[in-house]
Structure 1
Amino acid sequence: MSKILIVGAGQSGLQLALGLQSHGYDVTVMTNRTADEIRNGRVMSTQCMFSTALQHERDLGLNLWEDQAPRIEGVGVSVAGPDGSRVIDWVGHLDGYAQSVDQRLKMAGWLETFARRGGQVVVHGVTVSDLDYFSRSYDLVLVAAGKGELVSMFGRDASRSPYDVPQRALAVSYVHGLGPRPEHDFEAVRCNLVPGVGELFVMPSLTTSGRCDILFWEGIPGGPLDVFTGVKDPEEHLRTTLELMRTFTPWEYERAAGGVELTDAGGVLAGRYAPVVRNPVAVLPGGGFALGVADVVVANDPITGQGSNNASKCAAAYLDAILEHGDKPFDRDFMQAAFDRYWDSARHVTKWTNAMLAPPPEHVLNLIGAAGQLQPVADRFAKGFDDPADFEEWFFEPEKAGAYLGSVAPQA
């Protein structure tokens, strides 16, 4: 059976490693942190995984926190008016529930599971020269570490990357103590749009200390939300988050009136990056090849909440490609074909995400407004988070949007 090296212990790397392990492959995972260091470190993401991605985990028996994590049954959208009022407010229903599990909890647990099942874990930072050396002992090398020197091996695909600078400044807080939502009695991710300023996402999650909520600001660079650079104190980060909520989304701030606190000192994160699609195959100094995985090759802005979903779908696509390939050499053609298999779904996410980063055209504003009056439109928006390919049928083009609304309104 083939020997496979996976560099990176995130959603995609560990899901793929555990999947290959279950089929008898000799898999080594290289990571720069132990399970305990991951578990006790800083939050890494704002993951919300929808039905298809969750099913990939279930198929491998990796849904270890499904009974503990909140079941998210809807996706809601609110739009702030110039006076701070909420001029649009609706919730779309999902067909299958979504869930968010703090990646510190999940990745630490998965890494321990992989080791317990006999997988080899090497805790060591990896440079390009290291990877070149190690690659000579493996039949296939995959890079699933989305940051650092290794990513530079994968060149930017300009034809698929319309932005070359960050489009949002990101700030995350994991909190306990947020009050119940008065609008509905089921769990939902809420997206609050503040035109010309940015977005606030609020989502229920499971963290190392139990149920929590994630407060996630996406601010247009240079605008009033772009104020987290240089904030090192976690409590100051939270105070800034809440003050922005009071100013721009007072209906969400009301839920914090009873007092919220960070889940832990590592429960904040801030930064920014330019969304990018990279070439999937890297040439190592010695002439070998490495295949990029998930965020290494397709890194979208988190405005559409697709990062962990893309990672899960990429791992599933690569697992199927490897299993179907059998004992044949994992050459450059195989790597390109495996990526193309993943890109078949990821391209829809990239198109949708890049569209959401730009000021919305009139037909999209009409769709968002119509969703507040027509429940089928709200539901279709929500279901698109699980299947972004559906947006091709009704979201991007004014003619298709108009035809869709015309077909829904008579029924409603």
Structure 2
Amino acid sequence: MRKILIVGAGQAGLQLALGLQAQGYEVTVMSNRTADEIRGGRVMSTQMQFHTALQNERDIEVNFWESQTPKVEGLGVSVADPESVHGPGETQRAINWLGMLDGYAQSVDQRVKMSGWMETFAQRGGQLVIHGAAVSDLDFFAKKYDLVLVAAGKGELVSMFERDAERSPYDAPQRALAVSYVTGLGQRPEHPDTEAVRCNLVPGVGELFVMPCLTTTGRCDILFWEGIPGGPLDVFQGIKDPNEQLAKTLELMEEFTPWEYARATKVELTDAGGTLSGRYAPTVRKPVGRLPGGGRVLGVADVVVANDPITGQGSNSASKCAAAYLASILERGDKPFDEEWMQQTFDRFWADVQHTTKWTNAMLAPPPEHILNLIGAAGELQPVADRFANGFNNPADFEEFFYDPAKTEAYLGSVAGG
């Protein structure tokens, strides 16, 4: 029986651990927190997962919360009119539309999912070690296990993985992030019966995302600001009090997205741990970490590909990474997990996630004219809105109509003419 160590208990690490466990592998998961500490801690992300990522969980039968979680059937885009951004309540929308998803999306608070998956892993006989691993620990473990995977995306361990400059166009954070989990959000008047993710774009300022979620106390909504550094939304860094963060979030909504603020006047935080803020530079790293003692470890998910959350792809990429790595490990059989295999395994993941990285980096930049035309046309042509929305599940499709102005023009012409 092959022995595998996974360091990190997030979406990718635990999904992969449970998948390997079901196939008879002897798996150890190392986490720096217990399940109870995770469940009772702060929120960790926004984690909206689209169809492919959800299917990966169904395939290994760990979709425990699917029936309880809001089913997100649409993805809406609103764009503020830059000329109307003057003061609270004055901002108007230049664009507003809703695209329909082919398969629904869902968001389960990672405090719920990761604590539940950890407990399931342990109940099924997996070895769960509560320990904050250092590089020196991995030096020891690399000799004891057939394969060591690093799925802890923060801290000392990430430094083992070299930044891939060719695939990392940004060397500084592109957005300041602020998340609040709330209850009491009113329905949207435009589509009161359709659960949807709403993307509100404020040109030159940033973005507000609003999405339904299942949290520790039940149904909630997430308010998520992404602010351009140094701009009017970059005001959360010094805020420690959760209620103060929510108050600032609502104040900014009133000024920049009053159509969202109108349904948020009675919201309250879900719990004392319901806020998160920070920033990080989007980075792609080389997948093989070299240990001082000569061993090799393989990086997983955001250890090796950390995109900005502007396109909501973090948990989706993590799920896809876990599925790709699971398939690669199973196919390897009894052969050694050597450095060549590690690179090939990452390449299998990169073949998919490269499209996510390209799209995310494009969305961080000011949109060129043909993209503005595309987003505007989606308000008049429902097939365009639907295709854009479904790109969140399959970012590879953006190659066909998004980046190249000629392809965009041809696509819009075909839809309008059809």
Deviations 1:68-99 (A, max 9, x none): 00000011000011311011000100000000
The alignment partner of 2:102 has SS state of strand
Bigger mean CA offset, 131-140 vs 142-151 = 131-140
CA distance in 2, matches of 1:167, 1:228: 15
**Matched letter for residue 169 of structure 1:** A
Question: Per-residue deviation at 1:334?
Answer: 0.6
Superposed counterparts of 1:167-316, under 5 Å: 167-184=174-191, 185-257=193-265, 259-316=266-323
1:22 and 2:42 are equivalent in the alignment: no
Question: Per-residue deviation at 1:134?
Answer: 1.4
1:117 and 2:152 are equivalent in the alignment: no
Question: Per-residue deviation at 1:135?
Answer: 1.4
CA distance in 2, matches of 1:393, 1:410: 18
CA distance in 2, matches of 1:30, 1:47: 22
CA distance in 1, matches of 2:162, 2:141: 22
Question: Per-residue deviation at 1:410?
Answer: 1.0
Deviations 1:127-166 (A, max 9, x none): 1001111111000000000000000000000000000000
Q: Residue in 2 aligned with 1:350?
A: 357
The alignment partner of 2:65 has SS state of coil
Q: Residue in 2 aligned with 1:40?
A: 40
1:341 and 2:348 are equivalent in the alignment: yes
CA distance in 2, matches of 1:120, 1:68: 29
Match of 2:377 among 342, 360, 370: 370
Q: Residue in 1 aligned with 2:107?
A: 100
CA distance in 2, matches of 1:157, 1:235: 39
CA distance in 2, matches of 1:134, 1:317: 24
The alignment partner of 1:18 has SS state of helix
Extract structure 1 runs of 4+ deviating beyond 4 A: none
- Normalising by structure 2, report the TM-score: 0.98
Question: Per-residue deviation at 1:242?
Answer: 0.3
The alignment partner of 1:38 has SS state of helix
Q: Residue in 1 aligned with 2:150?
A: 143
Question: Per-residue deviation at 1:256?
Answer: 1.1
For structure 1, list consecutive stretches of 5 or more residues without a partner in the other structure. none
CA distance in 2, matches of 1:75, 1:268: 23
CA distance in 2, matches of 1:269, 1:227: 13
Percentage of matched positions with identical amino acids: 77
RMSD, matched Cα: 0.4
Question: Per-residue deviation at 1:327?
Answer: 0.3
CA distance in 2, matches of 1:226, 1:256: 21
CA distance in 1, matches of 2:41, 2:277: 15
CA distance in 1, matches of 2:38, 2:6: 17
Deviations 1:166-213 (A, max 9, x none): 000000000000011111121000000000000000000000000000
Q: Residue in 1 aligned with 2:88?
A: none
The count of residues paired between Structure 1 and Structure 2 equals: 410
**Matched letter for residue 238 of structure 1:** L
Q: Residue in 1 aligned with 2:71?
A: 71
**Matched letter for residue 257 of structure 2:** T
